Structure 1
Amino acid sequence: MDTDIAFAYTKGMPDDAVCDRLTASESGVLALADGDDAYALPVFHHYEGGSLYFRLGETSESEKSAYLDATETATYVVTETAATPDAESWTGWSVVARGPITAVPEDDPAYEAVEINERYAPIRVFDEPTDEMDVTLYELSVEELTGRRN
């Protein structure tokens, strides 16, 4: 290995700091899996009571829906870095949450439109007609939660 590679040492974040980061952040990357196949997508989230909630737009034949159905343990990553002229003094943090992800029942009060619009940024739509899209709320029940910072 090249000994001139720059490294920045990190340390674990206290639990309250990890929760604060998830509460203050709005988005991250949700990773799903089906056997040996992985699928990751940028999403907006809401963190509350040890769970992460995602409002997702789905169509009946979407790849996203297939991966959501197949995933036993989802992983969600939130990160932020700030570059400096000296690579070893970069600052940043990351939070990784893991656990099962399930659809929230439609009769759950979390489906109230006012609540949803206050908690999430608008759904990003790519070429799909919105009248063919289902909006589904998902909950990732956090079983593992870690954070690192430098």
Structure 2
Amino acid sequence: MTTQPSDDRPIEGETMSDAAIDAALQSHGAGVLALADGNDAYAIPISFGYDAGRVVFVYWQFGAESRKVAFTEATDRACLTVVEHRSPTDWRSVIVRGPLSPIEPDERTTVGKLMDENAWVPDLSVLEARRLSPIPYELSIEEATGLRGADADPLLE
């Protein structure tokens, strides 16, 4: 189903500049991360920190085995989609692609700062009886594309 704007203009997007893509990633700390293991896909909502050229995030592992980690290890090139939608003509969509890699222990403080600046972090206090293991990863951005609706704020351009 396609929803048309009230003035009957077709829904179409305008290409976002690199600066606008950067601004969108800095201001939106949540998206959907798509992973793959062969022909089997797995997409997860994820909160992230952003630094030019990379996205960082943390998986909270609840047990010895993790579907997220297994798919992450099998994925050659991941895809993160970030969407903002206010109306049929006021929206943004950014897609970044690149390889994933675990973050080394000596860089975890930097990851924490990036997450504090940008990410939405859930309240995990209800799980305090469970043992959680944080597993930080980085998506190195090799490709970034963005589209915006005709009425999206041009100040981000």
- TM-score of the two chains, using structure 1 as the length reference: 0.81
Q: Give the letter for the 1:148 counterpart.
A: L
Q: Match of 2:116, SS?
A: helix
More displaced 10-residue stretch of structure 1: 50-59 or 94-103: 50-59
Q: Match of 1:8, SS?
A: coil
Give the structure 1 partner of residue 77 of structure 2: 73
- Separation in 2, partners of 1:105, 1:21: 27
The aligned length equals: 141
Give the structure 1 partner of residue 91 of structure 2: 92
Give the structure 2 partner of residue 39 of structure 1: 42
1:62 maps to 2:66: yes
CA contact (8 A) 1:111 1:137 kept: no
Q: CA 1:117–1:141 in 2, change beyond 3 Å: closer, same or farther?
A: closer
Q: CA 1:132–1:42 in 2, change beyond 3 Å: closer, same or farther?
A: same
1:137 maps to 2:136: yes
CA contact (8 A) 2:51 2:114 kept: no
Q: Give the letter for the 1:73 counterpart.
A: R
Q: CA 1:5–1:30 in 2, change beyond 3 Å: closer, same or farther?
A: closer
- TM-score of the two chains, using structure 2 as the length reference: 0.78
Give a deviation string over 1:66-96, Cα, whole Å, max 9, x none. 101111100000001112xxx5xx3211000
Q: Among residues 57, 82, 85, which one is paired with 2:86 in the alignment?
A: 82
Give RMSD over aligned pairs.
2.6
Q: Among residues 42, 53, 56, which one is paired with 1:53 in the alignment?
A: 56
Q: Match of 2:12, SS?
A: coil
CA shift, 1:118, in A, is 2.3
CA contact (8 A) 1:82 1:92 kept: yes
Give a deviation string over 1:3-28, Cα, whole Å, max 9, x none. x9744011100100000000011101
More displaced 10-residue stretch of structure 1: 57-66 or 10-19: 57-66
- Separation in 1, partners of 2:97, 2:29: 17
Identical-pair percentage: 31
Give the structure 2 partner of residue 110 of structure 1: 109
CA contact (8 A) 1:57 1:123 kept: no
Q: Match of 2:21, SS?
A: helix
Mind listing any 5+ residue stretches in structure 1 that lack a counterpart?
Answer: none
CA contact (8 A) 2:56 2:115 kept: no
Give the structure 2 partner of residue 121 of structure 1: 120
Q: CA 1:97–1:117 in 2, change beyond 3 Å: closer, same or farther?
A: closer
Q: Match of 2:94, SS?
A: strand
